[in-house]
Structure 1
Amino acid sequence: MHTPQNVIIIPARYASSRFPGKALAPLRGPGGQSRSLIEWCWRAARAVPGVDAIWIATDDDRIANAAQGFGAQVVMTAEACENGTERCADALARLGIAPRTVINLQGDAPLTPPWFVSALMDRMAQGAQVATPVLPLSHAQAERLRADRHAGIVGGTTAVTDAQGRALYFSKEVLPHGAQAGRMEVLLHVGVYAYTPAALAAYVGSGPCNTERAEGLEQLRFLHHAIPVDCVTVDARGRSFHEVNNPGDIATVEAGLRALELA
């Protein structure tokens, strides 16, 4: 049996605390077509060149049935998975394959640009263990992020990197602190990941860490256990890539989907 080199796994759960059942929420896209959020994400995955296989990983029969209904491959995973990375690892173990690269394209991010994923695949081909995109923000964009944070709104995750572009830390605060004076750029982290199977196995085997729990950021477990995370700089090219975190995000994401028809 041929082992695929680059696979995308879309982790999806039904029991979201902020938006239960959001994977099956209908969104209207180009031409007014209504599809579930998880189907839009699957279609985004299919737009990435060079991907050998795509699976939706879930523990919920409602999501599995819907996904199979629109033609997706599904792998059932354990209910105990704490985050998308754990679900990807569980899916890979159940599939019994060892691809070169596993991409975690989150099940609430249908506007993820395909070139973000391609950039991660390129970095993994160069020998990275884990890779994730970062987007340099303009001063105005960083100020908006900071204003949101002061208002108690978590408007995004930032990354701090070393001289080789590897992550030193990720936070829901706006880091580094000196960036507020314009001395350093702020890097916005985009929640897409690429891993080797070995890195995924190490992640699950090591167990959660304190910083991961404190920040609510799954990727900090890699750093805690000295697994390097390459931050790959990407360009949004003017494209919106909002996620659906709560019902209020649907209108914004629908507008983004419709904009794709005009691009």
Structure 2
Amino acid sequence: MTTGNFDDYRRERTVRSSWRAARILLAVLTVLALAGAGGLFALGRIADIGPFSTGTPQADYRPDQWEAIVVNRWNRIPDDYPEPALTDLDGGIRVDERIAPDLNRMLDAMRAAGLDPTVTAGYRTRADQERIVRDRTFLNENQGMEEEQALQAAERAVGAPGMNEHELGLAVDVTARGTDAQARQGVAEWLAAHAWEHGFTQRYPHGREQLTGMDESPRHYRYVGADLAARLHDDGLVLEELERTA
């Protein structure tokens, strides 16, 4: 396979996805011709977007249990999910301000244990996530994968747009500063043992890929609150299992 570059790749993707833009334009014109709920219904059915979409169901969201929302490849971020109020961490990373106190306490505890942690990812916009998936898909294609296979692998690794916890502002990627493999392993082991004490759970552990729909990620942690984190830890569960037993 001939190796391309990101600009060529994005141009090719734009051409291949032109039919999608045509469908959306048709949907907009249809909505303009209809009124009220009927218009929203048409938008969802024709363009497959919005609250009447025929695609992936929306995750169950309850404002009084915001930390328990389960977003994955089977449950997308709800259309009415509120824009998170964000706060800045070191390095320009942002997270939902409600998780920052517990996150900072966890980072302080890690430093007290002799580690040097850093948060490498926090809140992402939908556009951020779309770009990340495009770039990962490009890399997969340059390694010999067919287009659909490359996209699926990218989404298993980093999460499909609209179905990724980083867009909630409740997820962080935590590792050690620098490139020392032993230091990174030390951070991963500490998190696996102690993150639950600070309200976080390892979202994509080894051996649960079929349940979570995602590849293993030892650095991806999701805030779920103290009570839920303790339950997940004590019972050895991931959020998908808890949802099924609720």
Q: Give TM-score scaled by structure 2 length.
A: 0.24
Q: Select the structure that is richer in strand.
A: 1
If asked which structure has higher relative contact order (CA below 8 Å, sep 6+), I would say 1
Q: Select the structure that is richer in helix.
A: 2
Q: Say which one has the larger Rg.
A: 2
Q: Give TM-score scaled by structure 1 length.
A: 0.23
